[in-house]
């Protein structure tokens, strides 16, 4: 289904006295997110068993949740987005992604806000890029969203 979560090591550092590892945990549902955190905890517990008097701290900080819970209650938001994309001359492709920090926060604050697109490709990697033509289509889409809301008002 292409909806597997992941645990991504961001940084690992240490000295003689201590070590620190930072991870990003992503999942499409809260249960998998919880399971990933428990997996990390169990892994660390297993490692330190070999080192008497060792301690560890596991701190999990929520970055964002799956906005689908909010968007499912407001299907018109997605419909308007799809129509706006199609009016810009693009075939809308609906898919779930593991991202959208701003949209997630806004959605859970009461402003349903799905991800659309901004013309980017190969997100967050060394090969990430965006073309001017794709960014122009993203701008057209945003303008179309405003026009459609006005038409339906």
pTM value? 0.75
Q: What is the pLDDT of residue 34?
A: 92
pLDDT of residue 54: 92
Q: Give me the half-sphere count of Cα atoms (radius 13 Å) on the Cβ side of residue 107.
A: 22
* Three-state SS annotation for 2-24: CCCCEEEEEEEEECCCCEEEEEE
The residue extents of the domains of the chain are 6-48, 68-152
**Which pLDDT tens digit goes with each residue over 77-93?**
999 999 999 999 999 98
Ranges of residues in the chain with a pLDDT under 50 are none
Task: Return the pLDDT at 1.
Answer: 65
How far does Cα 32 stand from its chain's mean position?
Answer: 14
């Amino acid at each position: 289904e292409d909806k597997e979560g992941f645990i991504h090591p961001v940084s690992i550092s240490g000295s003689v006295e201590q070590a620190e590892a930072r991870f990003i945990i992503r999942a499409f549902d809260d249960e998998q997110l919880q399971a990933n955190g428990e997996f990390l905890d169990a892994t660390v517990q297993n490692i330190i068993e070999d080192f008497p008097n060792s301690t560890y701290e596991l701190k999990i900080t929520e970055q964002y949740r799956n906005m689908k819970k909010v968007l499912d209650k407001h299907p018109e938001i997605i419909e308007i987005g799809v129509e706006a994309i199609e009016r810009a001359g693009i075939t809308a492709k609906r898919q779930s992604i593991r991202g959208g920090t701003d949209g997630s926060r806004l959605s859970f604050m009461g402003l349903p806000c799905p991800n659309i697109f901004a013309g980017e490709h190969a997100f967050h990697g060394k090969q990430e890029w965006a073309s001017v033509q794709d960014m122009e289509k993203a701008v057209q889409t945003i303008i179309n969203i405003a026009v459609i809301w006005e038409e339906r008002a």
